[in-house]
């Protein structure tokens, strides 16, 4: 219980500090201060600085993936599925803005450790979109000429960039619903076989 608390405290402190200062600029002592523990305490729970970052992903991103997949499995309509993915992603990003920053900033790092993680776990997350699209193509709802590999990048990249700026500045004050509506009104129209014939 005590240990659980401390582990969690450090994770969320690290998320906050990484988001604010970036991985390389963040000092271990910053995280320790934020978590209100001694510097050394951090090393009772994590092997090193990278391990903290990885743990942030492993735990926090893991939750999002899990959650999203559960919701998707209960929905058959590929249009609804795309909506679920978009709203889940944006809601998660909005809920924990620090985590959003960390994902968006650090995931781009070229560091070996991070790269490996990104290639394994994160592309699985983005892959969900490809699965949805293929499903929609089989169902005859999405255009067969759409390349799922490209479309998944386009859809995820769009969401990602929107939430990036969302957090960085206050330029846009759109709600999650507004964004989802706009995104789907563009993408669904764009990838559906014949919008005119499909009820909505």
Q: Alpha-carbon distance 84 to 86, whole Å? A: 5
Q: Alpha-carbon distance 35 to 6, whole Å? A: 8
CB closer to DNA, 27 vs 108 = 27
CB closer to DNA, 26 vs 64 = 26
CB closer to its own copies, 69 vs 160 = 160
167 CB burial (10 A radius; 0-12, 13-18, 19+): middle
Residue 28 binding target from its own copies, DNA, none, CB below 5 to 8 Å by type: DNA
CB closer to DNA, 28 vs 107 = 28
Encoding tokens for residue 23? 């991985």
Minimum CB separation of residue 74 from its own copies in Å reads 27
Using the rule CB under 7 A, is 29 a contact of DNA?
yes
Q: According to CB under 8 A, which residues from 170 to 199 bind its own copies?
A: 171-172, 174, 178-179, 182-183, 185-191, 195-196
Among 38, 44, 165, 198, indicate the residue that binds its own copies (CB under 8 A): 165
CB closer to DNA, 51 vs 160 = 51
Using the rule CB under 7 A, is 70 a contact of DNA?
no
Residue 155 binding target from DNA, its own copies, none, CB below 5 to 8 Å by type: its own copies
* Interacting residues toward its own copies by CB under 8 A: 19-25, 101, 104-105, 108-111, 115, 119, 145-147, 149-151, 153-162, 164-165, 168-169, 171-172, 174, 178-179, 182-183, 185-191, 195-196
* Interacting residues toward DNA by CB under 7 A: 2-3, 6, 25-29, 37-41, 43-44, 48-49
């Amino acid at each position: 219980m005590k240990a659980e608390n401390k582990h969690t405290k450090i994770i969320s402190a690290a998320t906050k500090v990484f988001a604010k200062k970036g991985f390389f600029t963040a000092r271990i002592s910053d995280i320790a201060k934020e978590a209100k523990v001694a510097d050394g305490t951090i090393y009772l729970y994590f092997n090193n600085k990278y391990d903290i970052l990885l743990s942030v992903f492993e735990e926090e991103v893991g939750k999002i993936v899990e959650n999203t997949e559960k919701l998707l499995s209960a929905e058959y309509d590929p249009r609804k599925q795309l909506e679920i993915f978009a709203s889940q992603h944006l809601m998660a990003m909005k809920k924990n803005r620090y985590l959003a920053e960390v994902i968006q900033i650090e995931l781009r790092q070229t560091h070996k450790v991070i790269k490996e993680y990104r290639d394994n776990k994160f592309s699985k997350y983005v892959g969900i979109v490809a699965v949805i699209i293929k499903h929609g193509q089989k169902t005859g709802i999405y255009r067969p000429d759409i390349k799922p590999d490209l479309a998944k990048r386009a859809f995820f990249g769009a969401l990602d960039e929107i939430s990036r700026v969302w957090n960085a500045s206050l330029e846009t004050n759109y709600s999650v619903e507004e964004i989802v509506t706009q995104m789907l009104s563009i993408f669904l129209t764009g990838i559906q076989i014949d919008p005119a014939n499909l009820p909505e």
